[in-house]
Structure 1
Amino acid sequence: MASSSSRKYETRKRVPDPQNAALLVIDMQNHFSSMAKPILNEAITTIDLCRRASIPVFFSRQNHKSQNDHGMLEEWWNGDLILDGTTDSEIIPEIHRHVIGPDEIVEKNTYSAFQNTRLQEKLEKIGVKEVIVIGVMTNLCCETTARDAFIKGYRVFFSTDATATVNEELHEATLMNLAYGFAYLVDCDTLRRGLSTTLSTC
Structure 2
Amino acid sequence: MPALDPRSTALVLVDLMERIVALPLAPRSGADVVDAAHRLADAFRAAGAPVVHIRVERPHVDVQPPGSELVPSLVREGEPVVVKRTIGGFQGTGLHELLSGLGVTTVVFAGIATNLGVESTARAAVDHGYEAVFAEDAMTAFTAEEHRASVELDFPRLGTVAPVSALTLDGPA
Instruction: Answer yes or no: same fold by TM over 0.5.
Output: yes
- Pairwise CA distance, 1:15: 4.2
Contact 2:58 2:64 in 1 (8 A): no
Q: TM-score, normalised by structure 1?
A: 0.76
Which residue identity is paired with 2:12? L
Instruction: Trace 1:75-154 onto structure 2 (pairs within 5 A).
Output: 84-95=63-74, 98-101=75-78, 104-154=80-130
Match of 2:164 in 1: 188
Which residue identity is paired with 1:146? A
Structure 1 residue 38 corresponds to structure 2 residue 38: no
In 2, Cα distance between the equivalents of 1:149 and 1:130? 9
Query: Structure 2 stretches of 5 or more lacking a match?
Result: none
In 2, Cα distance between the equivalents of 1:20 and 1:167? 33
* Structure number with larger C-alpha Rg: 1
Contact 2:52 2:80 in 1 (8 A): yes
Question: What fraction of aligned residue pairs are identical, expressed as a percent?
Answer: 28
Contact 1:146 1:183 in 2 (8 A): no
The verdict on how the C-alpha distance between 1:147 and 1:18 changes in structure 2, with shifts beyond 3 A counting, is same
Which residue identity is paired with 2:125? A
- Pairwise CA distance, 1:14: 4.4
Contact 1:63 1:107 in 2 (8 A): yes
- Pairwise CA distance, 1:87: 2.1
Contact 2:16 2:34 in 1 (8 A): no
Partner of 2:117: helix, strand, or coil?
Answer: helix
Contact 1:158 1:185 in 2 (8 A): yes
Which residue identity is paired with 1:39? V
Contact 1:28 1:61 in 2 (8 A): yes
- Pairwise CA distance, 1:124: 1.3
Query: Structure 1 stretches of 5 or more lacking a match?
Result: 1-12, 68-82
Which deviates more from structure 2 when the two are superposed, residues 181-190 or residues 152-161?
181-190
Aligned partner (choices 141, 145, 148) of residue 169 of structure 1: 145
Match of 2:171 in 1: 199
Structure 1 residue 26 corresponds to structure 2 residue 14: yes
Which deviates more from structure 2 when the two are superposed, residues 129-138 or residues 57-66?
57-66
Structure 1 residue 63 corresponds to structure 2 residue 51: no
Which residue identity is paired with 2:4? P
Match of 1:47 in 2: 41
In 2, Cα distance between the equivalents of 1:169 and 1:148? 23
In 2, Cα distance between the equivalents of 1:27 and 1:84? 18
**RMSD of aligned C-alpha atoms?**
2.0
Match of 1:74 in 2: none
In 2, Cα distance between the equivalents of 1:14 and 1:90? 34
Partner of 2:5: helix, strand, or coil?
Answer: coil
